[in-house]
Amino acid sequence: MKDVKMILCDIDGTLLDDHKKITPATLDAISKLKDHGILFGIATGRSPIAVKQLLGDWGVEEYTDILMGFNGSQYFDYALDKEERSNLVEGSILKDVIEAYQHFDISFGIFDDYEYHVTRDDEVSNGIAENNKLKLYVDDLSAYTSTNATKMLAMGQPEVIDEVEKYCIAHPDSRYRGVRSTKTLFEFLEPHVSKSFGIERIAKNHGFTLENVCVFGDELNDLEMIRDCGVGVCMENGNPIVKEIADYVTASNNEDGIAVFINEHILKEG
């Protein structure tokens, strides 16, 4: 643990409790990391531009050195004053995905800076727009299927996303990668993109490796970073598959899981 130079946390089901808040205990533990020379950041599937608007609401803005979004394809490194975006999905591929999955009762969505474009105005779409403080637009996504995008979301009820996930596994396509990020969301990404992919680039910029990174997550889009980083921690409320490959399992997102681990294993040893 003394070799940990950076801590990154997923957001939903991890950094935030079920009320979409960072608990006081977790915020307190994060605030102490800088005194130990440890960078703190966020590693999420959400739009980093959207999350940037929320850091102040969560009370964590002054402690955030790294903000990595879109599962690793875009990040803001405030410590080095650096920004990078890479590995977009070609529009023609997005169009093919929509055609291949249109028989499911789902809507599709694409983030574009402070806007969220969706094919259907429904509860899930509205929830994502509201939670990220984005303006919701309903259209056919043709502006993106004719160019490219960082990623595309499939949104639906949990039982429908279960079927989407099974279909994707049974019908792999080398042109894109599909991964589940929440109970109601399934993401389509450029095949090389993962949170490990982004973290490795960030670590290199700071002169260390994945071995010097501690990460917290709960879902399948966190699997690679929990597997590949030096210290991979899954929340008690996490996906069983992710728990199995994690180095540690901490308390749930509603029970100060991040704070418990940082206090017991990072600050205590530091």
CA–CA–CA angle 155, 136, 165 (5° rounding): 10
Of 90, 89, 107, 111, nearest to 98 by C-alpha is 107
Same domain (yes/no): 52, 141: no
Q: How many domains does the chain have?
A: 2
Residue 111 belongs to a domain: yes
> Residue 199 burial (CB < 10 Å; 0-12/13-18/19+)?
buried
CATH number of residue 212's parent domain: 3.40.50.1000
For 268, other C-beta atoms within 10 Å of its C-beta total: 9
Same domain (yes/no): 142, 208: no
Q: In terms of pLDDT, which residue wins out, 1 or 91? A: 91
Residue 262 belongs to a domain: yes
Task: Quote the CA–CA distance of 256 and 189 in Å, as a whole number.
Answer: 31
The parent domain of residue 208 ranges over 6-85+193-267
For 165, other C-beta atoms within 10 Å of its C-beta total: 16
Residue 46 belongs to a domain: yes
For 79, other C-beta atoms within 10 Å of its C-beta total: 16
Same domain (yes/no): 78, 114: no
Residue 203 scores a pLDDT above 70: yes
pLDDT for the residue 2 = 76
Q: Which of 189, 210, 236 is the last residue of a domain?
A: 189
CATH number of residue 105's parent domain: 3.30.1240.10
Residue 1 belongs to a domain: no
Residue 163 belongs to a domain: yes
Phi/psi-derived region of residue 69, left when phi > 0, alpha when psi is between -120 and 50, beta in every other case: beta
Of 87, 68, 73, nearest to 217 by C-alpha is 68
Q: Which residue(s) pair with 112 in the sheet?
A: 115
Of 135, 100, 147, 140, nearest to 120 by C-alpha is 140
Residue 75 belongs to a domain: yes
pLDDT digits (tens, 9 = 90+) for 22-68: 999 999 999 999 999 999 999 999 999 999 999 999 999 999 999 99
Overall pTM > 0.85:
yes
Same domain (yes/no): 107, 168: yes
